[in-house]
Chains A and B, each alone.
Chain A
């Protein structure tokens, strides 16, 4: 008989399985006792609605210490309440505590009637209208634009088209250079027949998108996560933390057909934004027009948007004042990790406050124009677009 290479303690195995099943039964009981999973509880006021979009302003108890309001543009693929998942994991509350006046766009849930909404409608339509409302409500000439993930890519497009309205640009885990193969989504998208997909669905279901995200780590996301959950299931607070995250992950709006088609084709497949070949509403989106201060944040272990897709932005813009910020963690940890709460939100607030004491807008425009021209091959810039394009109106 050959020597065995494995040996097991049968008694401990029986106990192990007994424990597992006992935990599972308790888990089901604990789950059924929970009536509501509360998310996004920071007080806010609805200040604008357009189609399915809603624009909110978060309530403050005291006046803001930063003159320029912050408009947060979230991605279309998930819900914006990730930034305020629960009181002790809330980038929003953190920003409010640090004196910022915060506005956020809720894109809502597109239905088939929205199937023709394209990138131009989102960037030059919805975002532009929200910026106008924020400027009016906050009585500010400019806004600080903070774009998250895909919303960051949209914000980059907007800032390039409207550099005179964006005081500071903050991008958080936002892909700009899609030429990389570092992330699976980037690799897979190159073989995605997006025309057929949109033709088939009109509005791509959120579940379809989620299926792709789960495929990135199928064993951890489909099995281990739920087996591990059983270890904390008796602790109601920990269970609620888990459930809030689950709710966010699977609360995925559909994607308006025209927009996702353009986003996949122009960005993922043709990399037009980084190449300087993207046009929206008949205008070239030239990243060199981004001359305002830039804070570009990436997560070192991001499996959804790899650093290689984010970092090049700093080389593509015309800004003199540009900061590349590495967050040690993953895509989701940027928003809800304990390190994020302690480190990132305060850093963003400080970065904005540091730039809030800058000279008056008129003086700053002139200065930026000059410095941007010096850094980024002025002849080329002048050939393609005016140094300081005036605000484009429909």
Chain B
């Protein structure tokens, strides 16, 4: 009961806040439109979207806190918010185009001046579920974990970790760069490390610890390879998105030239969706993309596999059932079940 009450309170507050803000914002936006002062991305439109995002987060939070109700409804609401957020994000991307059109300064050749690449990247991130913050967090946590288990006295990893973090922070710039250059950065990082501190591990075997350290080093290498491949993959996706945007503008220009008028954002939205879908379908059909996607998954799985091995090594002395031990157990259960079923069938046949 308390949970329900708390949920509704949060929900009502969120609703009130949204409506108040929505009305205020609509008024202000309308005034700006009518006075020919168009909301800029970082100005009032940004304010609108911030409000919208804050509200949608509050709604999700209240639903999550409720702790009851249908999971399917909550999941659907999350997806609906995701779709609507992307819709709003497209509006953000499109707003400067509209502004320029109103100022009668837009032409097909110059449209790129009005597209903010970082906003467009955010939009594509939403479509494909890329979460660069989550990626960074995951990699940072992985690095911290490896640092922790490799021992507090082993400061040799610090320079590598710092360099890796610096590279990851440059992630948003990737869409305007070339994937090859970043792959080189990651590999040179590892090679530099391997050729300096890494030499420690090239000495003859000195016990079981060597195996652990080698595995940890391998994890670092896996992480760098994964990050590089992920960069290449996302770069391919972004570039296709920008190419699709070129086509969107071409299609708009064709329509206008033939005498049609684009009056509503939804018309732009439809053209953008259809054109983008076609562009990505064309990309996805290629052998190159299929190969790249396969390689990306492979590198991610390598990271996971070596992490699991490291964890098994370090947890082996604890009173826990390890993954490999559970695998053996599952295999035994599987074999026994199969044998029992076979015997039961034979018994049944004999008795008939």
Interface residues of A (CB under 8 A from B): 1-14, 16-18, 20-21, 24-25, 27-28, 31-32, 34-37, 51, 112-113, 115-117, 121, 125, 181, 184, 187-188, 190-193, 196-197, 199-200, 202, 211, 215-220, 222-227, 229-230, 243, 246-247, 250-251, 393-394
Contact = CB atoms under 8 A, between A and B. Distances in A.
Contacts of A16: 264-266
A28 B77 contact: yes
Nearest to A113: B330
Interface string B90-116: 010000011011101111101000000
Interface in B282-298: 284-285, 287, 290-291, 293-295, 297-298
A217 B127 contact: no
Contacts of B277: 217-220
Contacts of A196: 297-298, 301-302, 305
Interface stretch (B147-155, B213-221, B253-261): B253-261
A215 B264 CA distance: 28
B183 interface: no
B140 interface: no
Chain A to chain B: the 10 pairs with minimum beta-carbon distance, closest first:
A226-B83, A191-B294, A6-B101, A116-B334, A196-B301, A10-B33, A2-B107, A219-B277, A223-B86, A4-B104
A24 B284 CA distance: 32
Contacts of A21: 22, 52
Nearest to A21: B22
Contacts of B291: 191
B342 A202 contact: no
Interface stretch (B68-76, B173-181, B196-204): B68-76
B87 A229 contact: no
B285 A187 contact: yes
A223 B264 contact: no
B139 interface: no
A333 to B, nearest CB: 18
A86 B84 CA distance: 27
B82 A202 contact: no
B262 interface: yes
A313 to B, nearest CB: 24
17 contacts: A5-B253, A5-B256, A9-B264, A16-B265, A35-B69, A51-B337, A117-B334, A187-B284, A193-B301, A200-B301, A215-B128, A223-B126, A227-B87, A230-B80, A246-B75, A246-B76, A394-B342
Given A4-B104, A117-B334, A230-B84, 20 more contacts: A3-B104, A5-B107, A5-B108, A8-B102, A21-B52, A28-B59, A28-B77, A35-B70, A184-B285, A187-B287, A188-B293, A199-B301, A199-B305, A200-B308, A218-B128, A219-B273, A226-B83, A226-B84, A230-B80, A246-B76
A27 B80 contact: yes
B313 interface: no
Nearest to B99: A8
Nearest to A8: B98
B79 A4 contact: no
A250 B75 CA distance: 9
A78 to B, nearest CB: 14
A251 B79 CA distance: 14
Contacts of B76: 31, 243, 246-247
B252 A393 contact: no
Given A116-B331, A188-B290, A34 B262 contact: no
Contact of A222 (B63, B77, B82): B82
B10 interface: no
A219 B342 contact: no
B77 A31 contact: yes
Chain B: interface size category: 35 or more
A172 to B, nearest CB: 25
Q: Which of A9, A10, A184 has the most CB of B within 10 A?
A: A10
Interface SS majority for chain B: helix
A383 B262 CA distance: 69
A130 B104 CA distance: 71
Contacts of B341: 125, 394
B6 interface: no
B234 interface: no
Given A34-B73, A250-B75, A222 B86 contact: yes
Contact of A8 (B86, B263, B308, B349): B263
A116 B330 contact: yes
A247 B341 CA distance: 35
B302 to A, nearest CB: 7
Given A12-B264, A14-B29, A32-B63, A6 B97 contact: yes
Contact of B304 (A200, A224, A225, A243): A200
B206 interface: no
B65 to A, nearest CB: 13
A6 B102 CA distance: 8
Contacts of A3: 104, 107
B83 A225 contact: yes
Q: Which of A28, A115, A225 has the most CB of B within 10 A?
A: A28
Contacts of A5: 101, 106-108, 252-253, 256-257
Contacts of B342: 394
B127 A218 contact: yes
A216 to B, nearest CB: 8
Contact of A4 (B59, B105, B263): B105
Contacts of B280: 218-219
B269 interface: yes
B272 to A, nearest CB: 8
Contacts of B52: 21
Contacts of A184: 281, 284-285
A216 B333 CA distance: 38
B68 to A, nearest CB: 10
A5 B255 CA distance: 9
Contact of A393 (B102, B305, B349): B349
Nearest to A228: B83
Given A16-B264, A28-B77, A31-B77, A6 B82 contact: no
A20 B345 contact: no
A223 B298 contact: no
Contacts of B326: 112
A274 to B, nearest CB: 20
